[in-house]
């Protein structure tokens, strides 16, 4: 059973009407164990900055303590051979191979409508349908870290199928072209998951936006409703 991470600003919000960033304790622990097996024994202060890159500093500290990591202190270079890289602990692009992303970001399908050829969606009608299709309005916008540059450039996954985000990303929602897929109101739309399982990846966000993985994941973790998973 999931629980909201204490102290997060969005605690108490309804996850059915807001995007949810779910942080897996199990994924963090597995990444930490794998690093320790490779001889890494310490962590630097960078791991806990910005509420542990939006993952929750209290949770991350518990995982590090359980894995018997020692603090490297402020004077140790972040790239020292025996210091845990945040990208590795959080399973981000640039970290060690074989790690699993600890944070998953999901929205919810609010509505579905037909879109005729030539009709536009979102601000300025930047996207116009080349043919008749169907679109879904999905929770998750730039206010929750789904930055504007992602419009027309990345996919979400609904029921295991990939669908493109189209038009400009709005403050709290975005539009997804679902064509003839069996998508319904209330379905989960996965923005970020495990690329090893064929799910949308933060690496795509980095490629499209030119931003660092640390910037993107921290913004998501701090702005979306955040929940802790076992």
How is residue 83 annotated by DSSP?
E
C-alpha to C-alpha distance for 188 and 107, rounded to whole angstroms: 6
Kindly give the interhelix angle for 213-223 and 202-209, rounded to the nearest 10 degrees.
110
**With 70 as the cut, is the pLDDT of residue 123 above it?**
yes
Domain residue limits, the chain: 24-90, 103-229
pLDDT single digits (tens) 20-39: 999 999 999 999 999 999 99
pLDDT interval class at 126 (50, 70, 90): confident
pLDDT of res. 5 = 41
pLDDT of res. 79 = 62
Q: Are 200 and 192 in contact (CB under 8 A)?
A: yes
pTM attached to this predicted model? 0.89
C-alpha to C-alpha distance for 42 and 48, rounded to whole angstroms: 13
How open is the CA angle 174-176-182, to the nearest 5 degrees? 135
**CATH code for the domain defined by 103-229:** 2.40.37.10
Q: What is the mean pLDDT of residues 208-226?
A: 97
Q: What is the mean pLDDT of residues 128-155?
A: 96
Q: Are 58 and 6 in contact (CB under 8 A)?
A: yes
Task: Give how far the C-alpha of residue 198 lies from the chain's centroid of Cα atoms, to the nearest Å.
Answer: 15
Poorest-pLDDT segment among 8-12, 102-106, 113-117, 205-209: 8-12
Q: Are 180 and 112 in contact (CB under 8 A)?
A: no
Sequence-ordered alpha helix ranges (H) in the chain: 25-37, 49-53, 57-66, 86-90, 202-209, 213-223
Question: End-to-end CA distance of the chain, in Å?
Answer: 8
Two structure tokens written together for 125:
């009608």
Averaged pLDDT score across all residues of the chain: 91
Kindly give the interhelix angle for 57-66 and 25-37, rounded to the nearest 10 degrees.
40
If you search the block for the tokens 């191979």, which residue do you land on? Answer: 97
Q: Classify strands 133-139 and 127-128 as parallel, antiparallel or unpaired.
A: unpaired
The rounded radius of gyration (Å) of the Cα atoms in the chain is 19
């Amino acid at each position: 059973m999931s629980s909201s991470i204490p102290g997060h600003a969005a605690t108490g919000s309804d996850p059915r009407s807001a995007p949810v960033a779910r942080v897996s304790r199990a994924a963090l622990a597995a990444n930490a164990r794998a690093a320790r097996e490779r001889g890494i024994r310490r962590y630097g202060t960078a791991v806990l900055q910005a509420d542990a890159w939006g993952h929750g500093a209290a949770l991350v500290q518990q995982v590090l303590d359980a894995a018997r990591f020692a603090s490297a202190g402020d004077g140790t270079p972040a790239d020292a051979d025996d210091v845990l890289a945040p990208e590795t602990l959080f399973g981000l692009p640039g970290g060690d191979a074989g790690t699993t992303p600890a944070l998953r970001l999901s929205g919810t399908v609010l509505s579905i409508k037909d879109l005729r050829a030539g009709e536009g969606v979102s601000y300025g009608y930047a996207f116009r349908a080349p043919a008749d299709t169907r679109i879904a309005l999905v929770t998750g916008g730039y206010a929750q870290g789904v930055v504007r540059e992602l419009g027309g450039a990345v996919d979400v996954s609904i029921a295991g199928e990939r669908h493109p985000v189209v038009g400009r990303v709005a403050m709290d929602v975005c539009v997804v072209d679902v064509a003839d897929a069996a998508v319904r109101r209330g379905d989960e739309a996965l923005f970020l998951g495990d690329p090893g399982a064929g799910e949308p990846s933060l690496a795509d966000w980095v490629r499209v936006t030119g931003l660092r993985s640390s910037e993107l994941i921290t913004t998501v973790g701090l702005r979306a409703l955040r929940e802790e998973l076992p």
